[in-house]
Amino acid sequence: MIIIYLKGGLGNQMFQYAMGRCLAESHKTQLKMDISAYDYDGPLEYFLGPFNIEENFATSQEIKKLTTIKQNKFQRIVHSLFHSHPKKARTLVRENRPLFNKKVLKLPDNVYLEGYWQNEKCFLNIANIIRKEFTIKTPQTGKNKELSEIIAASQSVSIHIRRGDYVSNVKTNQTHGMCELDYYNKCINELKKTTKKPHFFIFSNDIPWCRNNLKLSGQVTFINHNTMKNACEDLRLMSQCKHNIISNSSFSWWAAWLNANENKLVFAPQKWFADKRKNADFAVPEKWIRK
């Protein structure tokens, strides 16, 4: 049994699931998810329900078994005298970010994984399985279906602009930073060199800002009808576009990665993190264009 600890939003949960699924597949064992991080009310919740994943949830007893150090009474007393924090169980594996360590692919069965695992190398061995399982159970309906038909019939380009907490939360801003307008302009100009009559589909958690600041000629459609609870629908629409211009966000990363167009152009920011101590080269596949 492999247990993966889920935290963060949809994109983060997808990376975490993919890592756990890959390790479970290598051992031909079951993957279980620890979703206890979402037990309390907050803006984030478990978002993987709509996908065709192997949905198994770990019990508190199963989590305890892999995360609690086994000690007798004497060992606990001695440990408490010399340590101010609990000793980590050998079966609990925390990610050593940001560099990818290939040793994680050799981990044994019966481990508990905690981290973000934002690297396709963590699951590239089972890419076909991940692509299949990250399809949505239900067909598109209503406005999403209408948009998917327009996307299929045009030279569709998704542009994802992440603002929200990237702007309002000081800590998040210091870590991630923002993709500047200059980045998007560079990507758009580069794409126009090879793509005639592109139709831009704008996805953002701040559409008013996009309307006021993006200067786009030609066909432009702003997407703002889906909510956080059905964010997977925005992700599906972005993945259906022929090309993608992503932000430094795991959400749009997955949309581009799941894009099945063999001739797709994917533009990604050169600077993934504002914090220079974090090396983000691992986050972007080699075939994508860094700007």
What averages of pLDDT result for each successive group of 10 residues across the chain (291 residues)?
96 97 97 93 88 97 86 47 56 81 91 93 96 98 98 97 57 59 93 94 93 90 93 97 95 97 94 65 81 86
Handedness of CA 73, 1, 8, 59 (dihedral sign): negative
Q: Which of 26, 32, 37 is nearest to 61 (CA)?
A: 32
pLDDT of residue 44: 86
Query: Cα–Cα distance between 83 and 99 in angstroms, integer?
Result: 28
| CATH class of the region 142-290 | alpha beta
Determine if the pTM surpasses 0.75.
Answer: yes
So what's the pLDDT on residue 25?
A: 97
Query: Residue 41 and residue 121: Cα distance in Å, rounded?
Result: 33
The whole-number pLDDT of residue 171 equals 52
**Sheet of strand 31-34: strand arrangement:** 31-34, 2-5, 111-114, 92-94
Beta carbons within 10 angstroms of residue 259's beta carbon: 19
pLDDT of residue 236: 98
* Sheet hosting strand 198-204, strand order edge to edge: 219-223, 198-204, 155-161, 243-245, 266-268, 289-290
Distance (Å, whole) CA 26 – CA 171: 37
Residue type (1 letter), 18: A
In this predicted structure, what is the pLDDT of residue 284?
82
